Amino acid sequence: MTERLPSRAADIRVGSTTDGLTPISVAERQFGARWPQWLSLASVALAGLGADQLTKSIVTSRLDLNDQVHVVGPFSIHHVTNSGIAFGLFASATSLVILLTGLAVAWMLYFFARSGSRHPVLPVALGLVIGGSVSNLTDRVRLGHVTDFLDFKYWPAFNLADSFIVVGVAALLLALVASDRQATRPGRVASHADRAG
């Protein structure tokens, strides 16, 4: 009398191979940046760098240091300099700021090389952060400070590069959260009964 072994249900998962049985390993999914993502990143970064450098050049050529022009409400164009990072932080540690900024840009490029196609917003988000960081880094190396001019009176003056960095980081975090939620969302797999019906 032979003992009958219980039948084992087939391991069918979303993303299985064409036979519907062999699961595809998550490790096989390619998230590395390809040339379209690199082109998008470079375009956004160069546009951000150019816009920031242009506005700083206009401010320094039209306004003397500490001069300001009232625009509307609490907002004014106020020519000031800053040797620290965004919004005047670490103003007395220029060399450290240069080193940390360089390391941050290198890490972002490494991250993008490995995950650039993970979400369509990544090239734009990282492009803004890298463009703003490189623009301010260029000024610190060349001049020892950056030019800030966007002054809302109740907040330290800042520039376009600072704005790009803040917007880029926010977009990057939202994109990563969205991609993680999408990756962990349980997919519905049709059973044999569903297919038969």
Between the two ends of the chain, the Cα-to-Cα distance in Å is: 37
Distance (Å, rounded) from C-alpha 118 to C-alpha 112?
Answer: 9
From the list 169, 80, 99, 87, the residue with the least C-alpha distance to 140 is: 99
Does the pLDDT of residue 93 top 70, yes or no? no
Q: In the numeric block, which tokens belong to residue 4?
A: 């009958």
C-alpha–C-alpha distance, residues 39 and 24, integer Å: 30
Average pLDDT over residues 21-45: 76
CA distance linking residue 195 with residue 169, whole number of Å? 45
Mean pLDDT (the chain, rounded): 81
Neighbours of 46 (CB within 10 A): 14
What mean pLDDT comes out for the span 26-30?
Answer: 54
83 or 150, higher pLDDT:
150
The distance of Cα 160 from the centroid of its chain, to the nearest Å, equals: 16
Which range has highest mean pLDDT (8-17, 30-39, 160-169, 170-179)? 160-169
CA distance 193 to 186: 20
In this prediction, residue 3 has a pLDDT band, given cuts at 50, 70 and 90, of low
The answer to whether 90 and 97 are in contact (CB under 8 A) is yes
Burial of residue 128, with CB atoms counted within 10 A of its CB: 0-12 exposed, 13-18 middle, 19 or more buried: buried
Catalytic residue ranges: 148, 162
Of 84-88, 91-95, 167-171, the range with the lowest mean pLDDT is 84-88
The residue with tokens 């150019």 is 50
pLDDT of residue 190: 45
What pLDDT is attached to residue 161? Answer: 95
Integer Cα distance of 123 and 36 in angstroms: 9
